[in-house]
Structure 1
Amino acid sequence: MRFITFVLLFAVSPLAHSIERVISLAPSSTELVYAAGLGDKLVAVSEYSDYPEEAQLLEKVANFDSVNIERIIALNPDLIVAWRSGGSIKSLNQLKGLGFSIYYSDTTYVADIADRIEELSQYADKPDVGRTNAKAFREELKRLQDQYSSGAPISYFYQLSSKPIYTIANNHWPSEVFSLCGGINIFEQSPTPYPQVGLEQVIVKAPQVMFTSPHTVQNTELWTPWQKQIPAVSNKFIWSLNADWLNRPTPRSLKAIEQACQHFEIARKTYSTNQIK
C-alpha cells in the first residue's frame, strides 16, 4: 500500500512527467525560460519576445492586454510561464481552470531573478544549465553591489512618459536598479506604484539626475526652461537607458544596473568636485 501511495504521488507531481512543450506569455518570462535551459522546449511566446534572437521565430500567442486561449489550447503546452500583469489575469485563471500547469515568473527584487531561473531549471532536461546561470547572476549582482553601494546618495527622477508624466515609486520594478547605485527616488513615498506627477512637483524636488526611456528621450526639451531650478538639467545629467535591460526582470537586468550606476558615478564625481570648490 505504501508503495502504491508513493507511485500515485509521483504520478501527479508537476515535475514527474517530462516537459516537452512550453509557452511563455511575457518577454521577460521568455528570457528566463532560455536562461533556465528550456529554450528548446518553447513552442510559442508573447509579442516583443525578441531576446534571444531565436525567440523571434516562434509563434506569438499573447500581448500585454490579451491571451489567445484558443490557440494555446490547440498547442497543448505542458507548461505555461507567465507574468501576472496587464489584462492577463482573467485569461491565466481560465487556463488554470482548464487544467494547464502555470509557473508565475513574477519578481519583486533583483535577487528574485536568480531564484526564478533556478526554479524553472527543474523542468529542463539539463537542470545544471539554469543552476549555473543562476549562480553566475548572484555572483555578478554581488560584485555590482560591492562596487557601487558605498557611493554618496544621488537624487533621481525616472520619467516613464511625458504626456502625462509618469514615474515609479520605491519597491516597484525597476526602482531597485537605481537604489543599488545609491539613487534616491524623489517620489519614493508615493502611495501608488506608478504615480502621475506634475511638472511643478519635479521642479520643486530638483533631482540631481534624470533618466528616461527611449520613447520619452525626444521630449527631454520639456525640462530645458528649468535648468536653473533642476541640477540634472543644468548639468545635462539626463540619460536614456536601455528599456529592455531596465524594464524586464531578466539576467540582462545586471546590464541595466551597470549602465545606471555608471551614470550615477559621473554625477557623483561632478557634484563632489563642485562641493570642494
Structure 2
Amino acid sequence: MRTARHLSPALLGAVLVLTSCGAPDGGEPEAEPTAQEASHTCGVSEPDPDRPTVGDGTFPVTVTGATGEVTIEEAPERIVSLSPSHTEMLFAIGAGDQVEAADEYSDYPEEAPTTSLSGFEPSVEAITEYDPDLVLLARSAEASAEQLDAVGIPSLVIDAAADLEDTYAQIRMLGDVTGHTEEADAEADRVESEFNAIVENVCERTEGGLTFYQELDETSYAATSDTFVGDVYESFGLVNIADAADEDGAAGGYPQLSQEYVVEQNPDLIFLSYGDESTVAEVAGRPAFDTVTAVRNDAVYLLDADIASRWGPRVVEFADTVGQAVIENAGR
C-alpha cells in the first residue's frame, strides 16, 4: 500500500497527553452518525477581524498569555522553550540565537538546543541551571509559572492553538516578546499565504465532501474538527468521522474510536500520525477493513507525527500532504 508522503519522526508527546484525557471507551454516539451526510465547504476562512495588532518592537512590552497579561521588561537573551511548536516559531522568526535550551521534544530545527528538560512536568531547579530571562511554558505546565516567578524568572504560558488564527497570532506574539516584531509579522504572513494558496489550489480542482479518519496512535484516538489539526482538514472541505463521536465534547476533541465504528463510517481517506510503512499494512489487515473505501482505494496515508501535531510554521507542509491526498482521491 502506498503513501502520499512518508515523512519522519515519532508521535509528539503533547498529542499523547491530549489524547489520554477523558475520552469515553469506544467513543460511539448513541444516535446514528451523520458525518458522511454533512456538507463541508472547501476554502480558506476569512481573516479574524479582531486579529491582534503587531507591536512596535520596543520594550517593555505587554502581551496576553494563557494566564493573563505578562510584561517583558527587555528583549530576552536566554530563552528556555518548553514547547516544540514554539521552539520552531522562535527559530522561524530569527530568535533562534536567543534560545538557550529547549525541551526533550524540541527536535526541530536541527540547531535547536534540545535537552532532557520536560515540557509536561518542568523542574524549576533544572530550568534555573540555564539562567534564563524568559521561559515559555505550555498550558499543561502553568503551575510552574508561579514557581519561576518566585525565583525571579519571567515566564509566558501559551495555550495550544485551537485553529490556524491562533498559529498566526502566536508567531506574532513571540516576535513582540523577543524583539523580532517585523520578522515575526512577515513569517506569519508567509505561513498564512502559503497555506491559503495550497487550499485554494485544491479547492479549484475538487468539490470537497470526502470523509476521513486520522488515527493518532495505536489505541485509535482521533481528533475532531474542534481541534487545530481538525481545522486544517476542514479547510479542504473534508468531513471528519470523529465529530459524531464527540458531539457533547466530553472527550475534549479527542475521542477514542472503536474499529467497528471506523468500519461503519467507511472513510474515504485514512491518515496515520504514528508508525511506519508496516503500520499502513497493519491497518489494511484489520478485520473488515478490506471493506473500507480508504483501504480499497489505497488511500491510507502515513504522516510525519511532528508536522501533523505541531501548530508551527510547518503547518504548510502538513497542508500540502493533505491537499495531495484530496486531489488523488477526488471523484473516485
Give 1:180's aligned residue. Answer: 235
Distance 1:140 1:11 in 2: 32
Structure 1 range deviating more: 96-105 or 232-241: 96-105
Distance 1:68 1:60 in 2: 13
Q: Deviations over 1:78-130 (max 9, x none)?
A: 21122223xx2333443245443222343111232221111111233443222
Give 1:239's aligned residue. Answer: 301
Give 2:55's aligned residue. Answer: none
- The answer to whether 1:204 aligns with 2:264 is yes
Amino acid at match of 1:268: A
Distance 2:202 2:148 in 1: 43
Distance 2:300 2:166 in 1: 29
Distance 1:28 1:78 in 2: 20
SS at match of 2:178: coil
Q: Deviations over 1:1-39 (max 9, x none)?
A: xxxxxxxxx879634423211110011110011123211
Distance 2:196 2:170 in 1: 17
Distance 1:114 1:259 in 2: 20
Distance 1:12 1:212 in 2: 41
Distance 2:241 2:60 in 1: 53
SS at match of 2:308: helix
Distance 2:264 2:130 in 1: 54
Amino acid at match of 2:214: Y
The number of aligned residues is 256
- The answer to whether 1:81 aligns with 2:136 is yes
Give 1:17's aligned residue. Answer: 74
Gaps (5+ residues) in structure 2?
Answer: 1-58, 63-70
Deviation at 1:268, TM superposition (A): 1.0
**Structure 1's 12 and 168: CA in aligned 2 closer, same or farther, altered over 3 A?**
closer
Higher RCO structure, 1 or 2 (CA under 8 Å, sep 6+): 2
Distance 1:97 1:200 in 2: 51
Structure 1 range deviating more: 223-232 or 126-135: 223-232
Match of 1:116 among 170, 183, 198: 170
Give 1:30's aligned residue. Answer: 87
RMSD between superposed Cα atoms in Å: 2.3
Deviation at 1:41, TM superposition (A): 0.6
SS at match of 1:243: coil
**Structure 1's 217 and 172: CA in aligned 2 closer, same or farther, altered over 3 A?**
farther
Give 1:157's aligned residue. Answer: 213
Match of 2:316 among 237, 254, 264: 254
Match of 1:144 among 193, 198, 212: 198
Distance 1:145 1:261 in 2: 7
Please say if residues 167 and 312 of structure 2, whose CA atoms lie closer than 8 Å, have aligned partners that are also in contact: yes
**Structure 1's 61 and 161: CA in aligned 2 closer, same or farther, altered over 3 A?**
closer
Q: Deviations over 1:57-86 (max 9, x none)?
A: x2525235321210212323221122223x
Give 1:43's aligned residue. Answer: 100
Q: Deviations over 1:110-166 (max 9, x none)?
A: 23222111111123344322222112122212222322346321000111122x221
SS at match of 1:82: strand
Distance 2:260 2:89 in 1: 40
